[in-house]
Structure 1
Amino acid sequence: MLLQKTKPPNFKFRSTSIDFFNLSLPSKTPTKCFTELPPTTTPQHSHLRDDSNRLSLDSSTCVKLIQNATKSGSVIHGKLLHAHLIKTSFKPCLFLLNNLLNLYCKFGEIRLAHQLFDKMTERNVVSYNLLVSGYTQVGFYDKALNVFNDARMGGQKIDKFTYAGVINVCAKTEDLEMGKLIHGLVVVGGLGGRVFVTNSLIDMYCKCGKIDQARLLFEKSDELDNVSWNSLISGYVRIGENEEIFRILVKMHQNGLDLTTYTMGCVLRACGTDFDDSVIYGRILHGCTLKLGLDLDIVVGTALLDMYAKRGNLDDAISVFYFIPDKNIVMYNAMIAGLIQTDTVSDDCANRAFNLFFEMQRQGMKPSKFTFSSLLKACNAVEAFEYGKQIHAQVCKNDLQFDEFIGSALIELYSLLGSTKDGLKCFNLIPKLDVVSWTSMIKGHIQNGHFESAVALFQELLASGGKTDEFIISTMLAACADLATGRSGEQVQGYGIKCGTGNSTIVQNSQICMYAKSGDIDSANMTFEEMKDPDVASWSAIICSNAQHGCAGDALKLFELMKDLGIAPNQITFLGVLTACSHGGLVQEGLREAAVGVEPSYFTSMHKDHGITSDVKHYACVVDILARAGRLADAKNFILNSGLEDSSVMWRSLLSACRVYKDTVTAKHAAEKVIELEPQEAASYVLLSNIYVDAGIELPASEVRELMKDRGIKKEPGLSWIEVGNKIHSFVVDDRSHPMSHIICESLETILEKIKKISYVDDEIYCQYF
């Protein structure tokens, strides 16, 4: 006879308040029964009903119910069963309690697990092993070690699983000293020859960076299995010893051991790194996977895909991807990441990544945080901002907006859009701010010209006790460079030295730029001289700095020294060299054509000797060289013959020179081209108007101003700032918002009166700018 369906028990369960652990309460009721079962278990155990219409359970049945709850992932059913056991004063056996303890540990309910453990009147080594594993799983490594010590002090007979669990703790914390101590206990306990413990020790030594000790243990062990070999291979992959990886793989195959998916995955991951013939080795391994029948395995397929993508063979990676029949989310993520991991992401690769995302959605796969972070990176790379906003909506829909990696990508997205306000909203949503999030937010403010806000954010980071690295120090030095605040830059430099990042090349490169933009070229040169190993960016920065300060000879000497040391220049280096030729009036050095017995010009040498393709900035420098030397006609012809006559940068460079030489005819032609290319750019109108004013031609100047007015173009007000003490004071034209503006204006009036007396400016200019 079947049981009638009963109403589900109405339990108001709260793990924070109900005491599940008083298992030894006295009771007058039978010890092996309880009145109700969860509805999911009632039909399965209806045969347990007795004559008194009460259900009788024994320990074996309870164990099966707990094991089913553990297997199905239903921790709430396990808790309900536990509550029933307490309600009916059931006296569980140790095996049942250990299964319940396993349930709580497996699902991260470590507080409940420890409470249950404390209430257990009887424990064995399995109980301790489960609790050690539970604490390790949630990252409470100190408590896991304490449980291990309690087991030893309590006289428990420690087994191989106990030692393996605590060795795993040492591996995760990279605590070599504790690992050696446990190793000694293993030997003393007579378990040194057990392959299970040996594998854990090999893994621990590898993760602690002691590959030699791991290899010694491996060589001296009498009993080894596949896990032993795989652990050693994984250790060599970690440190990048590629040749040794392949030696071990060959030896493993010669000894008759199976090359598993884990083995091939590890070795293929090594082939994804940058070493000689990595692609050749990868293709050989690809052939091995085909021969072993592992080519359709999802783990091996993902490793192959990742290897090809990292080595730049996207076509091969795509072929592997579509060859695997049953793809999972991990493989999709690997393919999307592979498409966009190059330095310059093409529109085609970004579109392929987006299409893969659509395909995932059609197949009902739930995107992960790695999916969204990769897609946002693609949006930022190709400036697909509208699509990025849609991805942001998907992020919120999947409740992943609190992830720090996604948050950093969103900050970058809105910073590129020019909306630091929206970026700040994303920043404030991240609960666990790391140095990457702070760097992204500060960099976003700098990109949009909000330098003072960037400084304020950095001060907030320091006040919160957050950690810094060389990238954020470099970013802050860039902010100080754009603000031209040398004092603030010196303070950031001092902080960098204090936290150990002052000697980083990237920091010192930014330091050179900061001092140069602050007008202190001597400190910039001193920073460069103190660098132990300057790279091409360092040489380029110091050459550009000297060029911008008019030290053309010093810049060119540095360039020649750089070539003598065998450091290959890049585009930025030649930009600095051509700028030096422009500011120094070195027309011949910058432009003379190569001839027999004649040293080629720097512009020619860039193409001929170094294989560097010049861009519009280099051509603009050539225009500036000619224009500054008064050769305006040559500069104009150079633009027309360069193939870049549609570049506003070229014509604007010529227009600036026309004002110096008061050439209104060439200026009119250059201005017309600039205004045609950038009709809403106010600077071109203002510059042409000033040229006419300087030449004393008022009518065309007024016509230019009227044209600006008709087109609704307004000149952007000038901004000035000064650093006094630890505060930056900003000023805009006609701005009276500063609390000391009346004192400032009085001082300015006094200064201008003195300037007027020495006839430095005439009355008209004085009245115009005051």
Structure 2
Amino acid sequence: MFVQETKPTKPNFLPHSTEFPGLIQPRIPSTVLPPTLALPNPPQHAQPCRQNFSLDSVAYTKLVQFSTRSGSLIYGKAAHGHMIKTAFRSCLFLLNNLLHMYCKCGEINSAHQMFDRMPKHNVISYNSLLSGYSQMGLFVNAMEVFNEARVFGLKLDKFTYAGALNLCGQTGDLLLGKLIHGLVIVSGLGDKVFLTNSLIDMYSKCGQVNRAALLFECSNELDEVSWNSLIAGYVRVGANEKMVKLVGKMHRSGLKLNTYALGSVLKACCTNFKDSNQHGKALHAFSVKLGLDLDDVVATALLDMYAKTGDLVDAIQLFKLMSNQSVIIYNAMIAGFLQGETISDEYANEAFDLFSKMQKNGMKPSKFTFSSMLKACNAVEAFDYGMQIHAQICKWNLQSDEFIGSALIDLYFLSGSVEDGVKCFALTPKLDIVLWTSIISGYVQNGHFGCALALFYELLSSGRKPDEFIISSMLGACSNLASPRSGQQIQGYAIKTGIGKFTIIQNSQICMYAKSGDIDSTHLTFEEMDNPDVVSWSVMISSNAQHGCARKALRLFELMKGYGIAPNHITFLGVLTACSHGGLVKEGLRYFESMKKDYCMTVNVRHCACIVDLLGRAGKLVDAENFILNSGFEEDPVMWRALLSACRVYKDTVTGKRVAERVIELKPQGSASYVLLYNIYNDAGINLPATKIRELMNDRGVKKEPGLSWIEVGNEVHCFVVGDRSHPMSQVIYARLEEMMKRMEKLGYIEERPISSISEPKLKASTVMNYHSEKLAVTYGILCLPASAPVRVMKNLRVCQDCHTMMKFLSRVEKREIILRDSIRFHHFREGTCSCGDYW
């Protein structure tokens, strides 16, 4: 029950003091005062005003009301400061005006301090504070104010109940809304049309449009707002046919179809319901007949309708025919060019031109204008232009708007400027869920997964409820960290809050389990999905490909086609990867041709690299090289690097040298090509060229990425590098590793001893091989994890031949399942065998 028996505690912002914090007392020129307060010049003989001179209540009230209307606190704060300084005894009416000013101007902390220090309150005081918290999105605090007003026994009016019902609609709290509905009836205000409209709006926003319709039908008194609210409710839930019938009934009832109702109906015509296009054009003609097409709201809705239905030509024509092209109309046209998930450079440039034309015509861009322009900059990666727009946003003092703040966060995170994105987040006063989504997903996109997790926990501690997009981003962070325990906790939270069945969350969950090495949980999640989409199937196919289950991946692909789901580029990439890792040359070539012929898809460099890898792994090095030369991507180093890897597998030093030179020419600072060529010479026992490769890297300043392996034990991730002795249990780890090595040698394991290592040439060969990072991580897992638990280790580089061989022996000696993820794929070691079939 939301009604509390005792007075709820309120936050104690600051100790009581005689001075109100943060007040400024500037000199106010009379020329900028409100006309009614402009003071005449004093006569020459007049004496200076004393410091304790006070204005009267009327003057103070007019100053405060002027600040409220203008949105500028300077006059209101000056008046408040002067009242405190002169010890003016304010009446309740003036204090309520001050409270209303702080709430309307967004200074909710100051408003609450003001409220706490008022000697007396009435229902207007509570209404103002409730509205202020609602305006800032602090719905929990607003409901506490409502509860407190009831506990104090105040007679609540229709505005109090309307504010509380608005809270329920904003938060989707249907149960609380029903309780307040009951209070409205008990208070005797149930027949007030003002509250009837609030109830219709609340039920509609809570997804109970049928209840709203029942209330509409049973009400004795209705006005145009009632009809408009129910129409908007039908639009919100997509009940477009009911909406059209209600509009017709409203028109037949003799009520005027106002701009609000017409705008809502035109908004519904943007969706593809039956005869929506004809309805939209009929409404356009009807609006012209009534003369409403000149209204900004209707004109905006018409532009939006034509743009969203793909009729951009009519939208442009309509825009040109409008004589009164206001900022709202420009915004609608700009938004029209930015419709859809993908925005072309052409349409983005059209939007930029309109923005420039607005400014040339002397129009002041609105918050929506800047938000749309930042969206265009993000879509086409025009980051420099976006920063110029940020400067204009600061010029117009709009940087505190939450929608602009979200777009700015996206801009800076997309450009890789994480620090600037964090600053934009910190400087936005109203942190709604969209802002949290932007910064958390930005951290994930930039690889700051730990920061994303920390911010997610901060979001939870603030009392806000994350949506499905934040949960999806967090599961993505856990998948990149290979942290299944954290992922399982977030999955549990999603199920508890009722959003665990969202497809976007289940897709991220599949990816999280797959990247954490738990392919069984991946299959279980997929099987529990009610309506898997193309992303679900594609992730499953790619996951099986990465885990060495090539045949299973291809069966999933055929099953997907049987369900009538059309594959996309990502799906085919997973299929080709499966064929490559499984050595299925004929199948891979057949699917590659099917992609082009049967589905008319344009292949990209990643698809072609899979074919190079497929042919190279099968030993068809000549065919792979010819394929590169005829692919159209011969200038891309990814293609040649795939062939270079195959040259190492087959110890082809001649082709490897030629291919490596080509890769180094295309990407001289890429360490992978040098390392592969070094290993080719090293494996073949050709010492001198290998040494020269290492010297060439040093001369060019090319640094090899150090090998790093990590394992999650409990709630901690433990990282290891080659020869690592920084771990607190290093002595125990090395002792156990040596003991296991001796047992494996008895079963036939022979350590490979290279001549030297490109990363640690000064260490002894045996030391380098024995103490590779993945060996240390696996040993730590064997020491700390239960015997029944698989040991899951992640590595940033490809596993070497010796470590791969050792893991097979180790799984047999320890009778443990070892799951090792390298930079290319997963290796599942069981009973002395690997899921890759030694084809890697």
Q: Distance in 2 between matches of 1:309 and 1:340?
A: 9
Corresponding position of 1:587 = 585
The reply to whether residue 468 of structure 1 matches residue 469 of structure 2 is no
Rounded Cα–Cα distance in structure 1 between residues aligned with 2:255 and 2:34:
49
- Distance in 2 (CA, whole Å) between partners of 1:469 and 1:696 is 57
Q: Partner residue of 2:281?
A: 283
Q: Secondary structure at the match of 2:710?
A: strand
Percent of aligned positions with the same letter in both sequences?
55
1:636 aligned to 625, 638, 648, which one?
Answer: 625
1:576 matched to which residue of 2? 574
Letter of the 1:762 counterpart: R
The 3 A distance-change label for structure 1 pair 496 and 256 is closer
Q: For residue 653 of structure 2, what is the aligned residue in structure 1? A: 664
Q: Is the 8 A contact 1:414 1:423 kept in 2?
A: yes
- Superimposed CA distance per residue, residues 521-557 of structure 1 (whole angstroms, 9 cap, x where no aligned partner): 2232233223333222222212111112221121122
Is residue 729 from structure 1 mapped to residue 724 from structure 2 by the alignment? no
Contact 2:228 2:261 in 1 (8 A): yes
Contact 1:131 1:147 in 2 (8 A): no
Alignment of 1:91-240 (within 5 A): 105=100, 108=103, 134=128, 137-138=131-132, 139=134, 140=142, 162-163=157-158, 166-167=161-162, 169-174=164-169, 175-178=176-179, 180-181=181-182, 184=185, 192=191, 199=197, 202-203=200-201, 205-207=203-205, 209-219=207-217, 225-240=223-238
Deviates more, 1:273-282 or 1:674-683: 273-282
The Cα shift of 1:267 comes to 1.0
Q: What is the DSSP-based 3-state SS (H/G/I as helix, E as strand, rest coil) of the residue aligned with 2:717?
A: strand
**Who is 1:424 aligned against?**
422
Q: Aligned partners of 2:694, 2:249: CA distance in 1, in Å? A: 82
Q: Quick one: which amino acid aligns to residue 769 of structure 1?
A: V
On the 8 A contact 1:721/1:731 being kept in 2, the answer is yes
1:477 to 475, 480, 495: 475
Q: Is the 8 A contact 2:722 2:768 kept in 1?
A: no
Match of 1:350 among 337, 348, 351: 348
Query: Do 1:481 and 1:513's aligned partners in 2 also have CA atoms closer than 8 Å?
Result: yes
- The answer to whether structure 1 residue 567 and structure 2 residue 565 are counterparts is yes
Q: What aligned pairs does 1:428-507 form with structure 2 within 5 A after superposition?
A: 428-431=426-429, 433-462=431-460, 467-507=465-505
What root-mean-square deviation, in Å, do the aligned CA atoms of Structure 1 and Structure 2 show?
Answer: 4.5
| 577-586 or 335-344: bigger deviation | 335-344
Q: Name the counterpart of 1:546.
A: 544
Q: Secondary structure at the match of 1:295?
A: helix
Q: Which amino acid aligns with 1:288?
A: F
Q: In the TM superposition, what whole-angstrom CA distance separates every residue of 1:71-126 from its partner, at most 9, and x where no partner exists?
A: 89479589979999xx999999xxxx979967975774888998999879xxxxxx
Check the 8 A contact 2:161/2:195 in 1, yes or no.
no
Which secondary structure state, in structure 2, belongs to the residue aligned with residue 764 of structure 1? coil
| Structure 1 position 653 matched with structure 2 position 642 | yes
Query: What is the distance in 2 between the residues matched to 1:196 and 1:447?
Result: 47
Q: How does 1:201-350 map to 2 (within 5 A)?
A: 202-203=200-201, 205-207=203-205, 209-219=207-217, 225-350=223-348
Give 1:517's match in structure 2, choosing from 515, 523, 529: 515
Cα drift, residue 369 of structure 1? 4.1
Which runs of 5 or more structure 2 residues have no equivalent in the other structure?
1-17, 24-32, 42-55, 105-110, 135-141, 170-175, 757-764, 770-840
Does the Cα contact within 8 Å between 1:67 and 1:99 map onto a contact in 2?
A: no
Q: Distance in 2 between matches of 1:535 and 1:205?
A: 31
Question: Any idea what SS the aligned residue of 1:722 has?
Answer: strand
AA of the residue aligned to 2:539: A
Bigger shift: residues 575-584 or 449-458:
449-458
Distance 1:99 1:733 in 2: 73
Q: Indicate if the aligned counterparts of 1:414 and 1:422 stay in contact, CA closer than 8 A.
A: yes
1:386 maps to which of 364, 384, 394:
384
Which amino acid letter does the alignment assign opposite residue 415 of structure 1?
A: F
Structure 2 equivalent of residue 760 of structure 1: 751
CA distance in 2, matches of 1:44, 1:491: 66
Is 1:70–1:78's contact at 8 Å kept on the other side of the alignment?
no
CA distance in 1, matches of 2:184, 2:377: 50
Counterpart in the other structure of 1:4: none
Match of 1:714 among 686, 698, 703: 703
Supply the distance in 1 between the matched residues of 2:550 and 2:61 (Cα, whole angstroms): 81
Corresponding residue for 2:663?
Answer: 674
Q: How far apart, CA to CA, are the structure 2 residues paired with 1:114 and 1:685?
A: 70
What does the per-residue CA deviation read over 1:357-400, in whole Å, with 9 as the maximum and x for residues that have no partner?
Answer: 43444445444444443333332222222233333444444444
Aligned equivalents of 2:210, 2:474: Cα separation in 1: 42
Q: How many residues align?
A: 694
Asked whether the 8 Å contact 1:755–1:761 carries over to 2, the reply is no
Deviations 1:41-87 (A, max 9, x none): 488999xxxxxxxxxxxxxx998997898589479589979999xx9
Deviation at 1:506, TM superposition (A): 2.6
Q: Using a 3 Å threshold, how does the CA distance of structure 1 residues 524 and 218 change in structure 2: closer, same or farther? A: closer
- Whether the aligned pair in 2 keeps the contact of 1:167 and 1:179 (CA below 8 Å) is no
Evaluate the alpha carbon distance shift between residue 244 and residue 149 of structure 1 in structure 2; reply closer, same or farther with a 3 A threshold. farther
Rounded Cα–Cα distance in structure 2 between residues aligned with 1:711 and 1:91: 77
Read off the aligned partner of 2:548 and give its amino acid letter: G
Distance 1:66 1:323, change over 3 A: farther
Is 1:533 paired with 2:531?
Answer: yes
Would the alpha carbon gap of residues 106 and 305 (structure 1) be closer, same or farther in structure 2, given more than 3 Å must change?
Answer: farther
* CA distance in 1: counterparts of 2:390 and 2:87, whole angstroms: 52
- What SS does the corresponding residue of 2:293 show, helix, strand or coil? coil
* Bigger Rg, which one: 1
* 1:207-252: CA deviation from partner (whole Å, max 9, x where unpaired): 5544345444544667655434323322322222111222222333
Are the counterparts in 1 of residues 76 and 98 from structure 2 also a CA contact under 8 Å?
Answer: no
CA contact (8 A) 2:507 2:539 kept: yes
Question: Partner of 1:717: helix, strand, or coil?
Answer: coil
Matched position secondary structure for 2:466: coil
Mark the runs of 5 or more structure 1 residues left unpaired by the alignment.
1-12, 19-37, 47-60, 121-126, 592-600
Report which structure shows greater RCO (CA 8 Å, sep ≥6): 2
Aligned mates of 2:609, 2:375 — CA distance in 1: 32
- Name the CA shift for 1:308/1:698 in 2 (closer, same or farther; >3 Å): farther
The whole-number CA distance in structure 2 between the counterparts of 1:745 and 1:88 is 77
Q: Distance in 2 between matches of 1:496 and 1:145?
A: 30
Q: 1:617 aligns with which of 606, 621, 625?
A: 606
- 1:656-684 C-alpha deviation (Å, 9 max, x unpaired): 11211222343334333323332322212
Is the 1:339–1:349 contact (alpha carbons within 8 Å) kept by the matching residues of 2? yes
**Would the aligned equivalents of 1:442 and 1:457 in 2 still touch at CA under 8 Å?**
yes
1:559-594 CA distances to partner (integer Å, 9 max, x unpaired)? Answer: 222222333322222222222222222222222xxx
User: Following the alignment from structure 1 to structure 2, what is the Cα–Cα distance between the partners of residues 683 and 396?
Assistant: 45
* Contact 1:547/1:577, CA 8 A, preserved across alignment: yes
With structure 1 as the length reference, what TM-score do the two structures score?
0.76
Give the SS at the match of 1:652.
helix
Give the structure 1 partner of residue 828 of structure 2: none
CA distance in structure 2 between the aligned counterparts of 1:468 and 1:78, rounded to whole angstroms:
36
Give the Cα separation in 1 of the matches to 2:154 and 2:691.
94
Distance 2:325 2:152 in 1: 46
Q: Does residue 626 in structure 1 map to residue 615 in structure 2?
A: yes
1:268–1:282 Cα contact (<8 Å) kept: yes
Inter-CA distance 258–685: structure 2 relative to 1 (3 Å threshold):
same
Residue 720 of structure 2 aligns to a residue in which SS?
strand
Q: Does the CA-based 8 Å contact 1:271-1:279 persist in structure 2? A: yes
Q: Which residue type is aligned with residue 306 of structure 1?
A: D
Stretch deviating more after TM superposition (516-525 or 703-712): 703-712
Q: Whole-Å Cα distance in 2 between the matches of residues 168 and 450 of structure 1? A: 40
